[in-house]
Structure 1
Amino acid sequence: MTMTIKIQDLVPQSSKLAQSIAHELEIKYDQVQMLNFTSEGNGSLIRWAISPDGPNDYIPNTTAESILSRLNEGSVHLPDTFGTYKLVSWKVEPPPKR
C-alpha cells in the first residue's frame, strides 16, 4: 500500500493504521500485522498482512471473500491523517509450515 504520509509521521501511528484497517475489513486488530515500512518519494510504502484469528490455522472462506471484495472494490476508507493511499498489490499465501 502506498500512502502520501511521510514515513517519519507514519511509523508512530502504525497501531492506529492497523486498527483502522481491521475496522474497515471487519476483523480483529491483532489479525493485522505491519510487516515493513519504506520511504518512497514524499510518501511511504507499507507491507502488511492479515493472519487467522486465534488458534485457527485458516481464515474462513466467507471472511476471506469479504476481505478480498473490500480490497478489490476500494471500499476501505482510512482516516485523513494517513493522507491518500493506494493498494498497489495483494496476494493470498498459505500459512508457513510448522
Structure 2
Amino acid sequence: MGEKIHLDITAKNMTGKKISERIEDLNTTFIFSDDSTAGENRNRKRPSIDKNEIVTRDYDIDYVRTIENKKIIKHELSYVLFKGRTLKP
C-alpha cells in the first residue's frame, strides 16, 4: 500500500437556510507540484445540510508519482481548492 495524504476539511452552511438533498456541491480539487490534479467523485451522495450546520469531509489521497530515469519521484501536494455552492434541483 502506497503513502497517502490525509486531510480533514470543514465547512459551514452560511446560506441562512437548509440545503436540500442532492443540491449541495462542496467541491474539492487537489493540485500537486507537477501541476497534476485530483478531485472527488462528482456522482457521490449529496445529503441535506441544515442551516448553520458544520460539515467535515475527510480524504485519503495517494501521492502522485512519476518515474524519471528509472527513479520514482513523489510529487508533493501544493494546493487544495475547496468550493461550496448549491446546484439547481
TM-score bracket for this pair, using the shorter chain length: 0.3 to 0.5
Q: Which has the larger radius of gyration?
A: 2
**Structure ranking higher on relative contact order (CA contacts 8 Å, 6+ apart):** 2
Q: Between Structure 1 and Structure 2, which shows a larger proportion of helix residues?
A: 1
